Amino acid sequence: MDSCGWVEGAQRIPSPNCDARPEGQAIELVVIHAISLPPSEFGGIGVAQFFTNTLDPDAHPYYKGLRGLHVSAHFFIRRDGHLIQFVPCLLRAWHAGVSSWRGRVRCNDFSVGIEFEGADDVPYEGVQYEVCNALIRALSYAYPISAVAGHCDIAPERKTDPGPYFEWPRISTLPRR
């Protein structure tokens, strides 16, 4: 990981959907999400286009509902394990929305977002867990990460991802610092 929080070996596709973290804010939480665009279709360019504000809202009926949204995550793990980074870790990616974790609001301020290419109704691939575990290890050595949560845990009224097929026991516990 470099001094800005870009991970070596990840494909970089910079997103404009980020800004500075609050002064002195430590990165303490990893949030796991799931996304596919169009929904439940994998391998396309929709997610990268969405996270870089280049998604054509007329390219698919579902995309019309995304018009005007400006979101991103730090990382996206494709079903084949390919890792893409959209936002350096030291910046705040716009992935969590209205959220809270253990009494703290605005999870974007103190978290890193990892998107799995997937959907609530489909099991994830083993290689995605492997890449995620390696990434969490790297993040925990660089930052004081104390927890890993799902989007559903920090925004339970709004979000269900990563969904019932996500195998939480396959996510490694955080290494000791």
DSSP-based three-state secondary structure for 154: helix
Percent helix, strand, coil in the chain, to 5, is 25, 20, 55
Long-range contacts of 148-153 (CB under 8 A, 24+ apart): 148/29, 148/30, 148/31, 148/32, 148/174, 149/29, 149/30, 149/31, 149/32, 149/101, 150/31, 150/32, 150/33, 151/31, 151/32, 151/33, 151/34, 151/96, 153/101
**Exposure pattern of 83-92 as b/e (b: 16+ CB <10 Å)?**
bbbbbbbbbb
Q: Is 39 left (phi over 0), alpha (psi -120 to 50) or beta?
A: beta
- Which amino acids are annotated catalytic? 115
Q: Which two tokens stand for residue 52?
A: 């870089």
